[in-house]
Structures are given as structure tokens and as C-alpha cells.
Amino acid sequence: MTDDGTGLMTIGALARTTGLTVRTIRYWSDEGALPPVTRSAGGYRLYDAGSVARLELIRTLRELGLGLDAVRRVLAGETTVAQVAAAHVSALDAQISSLRVTRAVLSTVARRGSTAEEMTLMNKLARQSAAERRRIMQEFVDEMFHGLETADPEIRERMRTFAVDLPDDPTPEQVDAWVELAELVHDPGFRAHMRKVAEFNAADGEAGAPEGASMWFAKRLVELAGQALRRGIAPEAPEADPVLRELVGDGDRAAVLERLRAPFSDQVARYRELLATVRGSGPLPAHREEFGWVVAALEARAGG
């Protein structure tokens, strides 16, 4: 304090009282957050007990991460602490979400041993807006079914409704899955593969297959092949013949084999797994064993 009995304090005395540095107090004072009450005859800034309380409020707000502009508005009565806190919570939520994405990208880069170019692409994909992510998936589905009016509408609609979006608070696994999914649907080879799947489906429609027939066939295949697997029937064994007859009847087995190889590849199974991870909807069963059994059984009877 000064020695004139006024109870006023210099910056040095204020620093000793509050435990803050003279440099910090002077900076806040220069920025207008802590104006001096008056000045001494020698021009030194002087503060009072109210300045101590004001300084404690400034310190608290700064420790909570508020900028000096927000601090000044609170001190000037232009806004309340509650209003500033609410706005700051929203800003922190956005920052936390961004940090989660950053962590997920860096984790993926470290795990994959990615190049700088791959890291740049991953970061771009991970930080896309919800609208951009939906557009990517919608364009993929539209290209897959473009011009195929006879494709099963149930299949088409299921793929449209599976357009994905990351949740507001994605896990690193979900961000990683989205990056891989976006890379997959941009892969020309995968897009051509999925187009072939859609063309096969459209051909069934042209041949008069009823709506939902593809879904029914897939469910029937899983059921029959699952039973064969549980009974321990090998795909090449004679006991597999009745299973195939029940599944495909007198149909062209070579054609069935070609069509099964298209939609039930490892890439398609991975596509389904990634969709489920990003959506947080739990795993979508790929039934790899069941479809693999039928493909192996057909190949054994087609001479490979």
C-alpha cells in the first residue's frame, strides 16, 4: 500500500496481495480490464480493495479460457457471467470435437505409416461437414443405380437410407472408419464393382423378378448355407447338392456363381462393416461364411 493512509495500492502491492505477477496485472490494466482508481503524484497507477475483487474475477475468467474482450464485456455489465459461460461452453464443445478428429487422424496416420499426402487427404475427409459427407454417399448411390430403372427399389432405398453421418461426438474409431469409407467409395475399382452388382440386380428386374426378390434370395441363402455349415457338410461333398438345388433350382449355376462373386466380395463386406461403425448401429452381419460356402459349392461343380 501507499503510505498516505488512503488504502490505495501500487501494482507491486496488488501483485503481493493476489499472487499475480506485476507484468500480468500491468498487461490487464493496459488492455482496459483493470483500470487504476487513480495515479500517484509520480504518475504510478493506484488500486483499491475493489480492484482486488475485480482482479480475482478477471483471473477466474481468464483461467476458464475466456478472452479479454469477453472479460471486458462482463466487467462493463454488457453481458452476464452466465451468458458468457454458455457461449464459452459451446465454443469448447466445438474445440473438443475438433481435437477428437485431430487425434483420430493422427492415430490413423501413425497406425498406417501414412505419407504426408495421405495424411492431408485423411485430414480433409475427417473434417468435412455433415452435408459434404451426405453428398459423397448420395453421389455414390446415384452413380451405382444411374439408368437402371429395373433395379430392385427395396435395395436402392436401403442404400439411400444408409447414407451416413458422423455423430456430434464421434469416437476415434468412427472417424477412422469414415476416412476409410470415403476412400473406398472414391476407389474406381470399388465403384465399378458395385455398379456391376446393381446391373445384375437390374437384370433380375428385367427378367420379371418380383420386388424384394434379391433380399429374399440372400436371406434364403444364409438360412440354407448356415444349416449346411452347422451339419458339417463340405461344399464339395455330394451332400451339398440338395442344398444347391433348393437354393437355385434349375437355374444357370454359372450365372448364379458370377452374381454371387460380385455382391459378396471382401470389399463389399468391409463396406458394410464401415457403415455400421460410422453409424454406431452395431455390426451388420456380412455372412461371409455362408456366402463363401455357396460360392465354393458352385465352384466345385463348375470345375473351378
Q: What pLDDT is recorded for position 25? A: 93
* 304 — pLDDT class (breaks 50, 70, 90): very low
The CA distances from residue 95 to 88, 106, 129, in Å, are 10, 16, 15
* 262 — pLDDT class (breaks 50, 70, 90): low
- Residue 231 pLDDT > 90, yes or no? yes
- Residue 126 pLDDT > 80, yes or no? no
8 close to 2: Cβ distance less than 8 angstroms: yes
pLDDT top residue among 71 and 210: 71
Which tens digit of pLDDT belongs to each residue from 158-193? 777 665 667 766 777 887 888 888 889 889 988 988
C-alpha closest to that of 197 among 212, 217, 214: 214
Q: What pLDDT is recorded for position 229? A: 92
The CA distances from residue 5 to 2, 8, 66, 169, in Å, are 7, 8, 36, 58
Grid look-up 467409395 returns 185
* 26 — pLDDT class (breaks 50, 70, 90): very high
* 302 — pLDDT class (breaks 50, 70, 90): confident
* 256 — pLDDT class (breaks 50, 70, 90): confident
CA distance 205 to 195: 15
* 21 — pLDDT class (breaks 50, 70, 90): very high
CA distance 105 to 120: 10
CA distance 55 to 17: 11
**Segment 141-146 long-range contacts (CB within 8 Å, at least 24 positions apart):** 143/191, 143/195, 144/191, 144/194, 144/195, 144/197, 144/198, 145/198
Q: What pLDDT is recorded for position 11? A: 93
- The helices-and-strands tally (H runs, E runs) of the chain is 15, 2
- Residue 270 pLDDT > 80, yes or no? yes
**DSSP SS3 for 38:** strand
The pTM of the full predicted model, rounded to 2 decimals, is 0.53
Residues β-bridged to residue 39: 45
CA distance 33 to 301: 85
Which tens digit of pLDDT belongs to each residue from 51-100? 999 999 999 988 888 888 888 888 888 888 888 888 888 888 777 777 77
Q: What pLDDT is recorded for position 212? A: 54
CA distance 132 to 91: 22
274 close to 209: Cβ distance less than 8 angstroms: no
Which tens digit of pLDDT belongs to each residue from 147-162? 888 777 777 777 776 6
- Residue 209 pLDDT > 70, yes or no? no
Residues β-bridged to residue 47: 9
**Residue 265 corresponds to which cell in the numbers above?**
466380395
Q: What number is the average pLDDT over the span 206-213?
A: 56
Q: What pLDDT is recorded for position 211? A: 54
As a whole number, the mean pLDDT across the chain is 81
**Residue 146 corresponds to which cell in the numbers above?**
444411374
Q: What number is the average pLDDT over the span 269-277?
A: 84
pLDDT top residue among 94 and 234: 234
Instruction: Report the interhelical angle of 213-230 vs 153-161 (nearest 10°).
Output: 80
Please name the helix (run of DSSP H) or strand (run of DSSP E) that holds residue 45, with its range, or none: strand 45-46
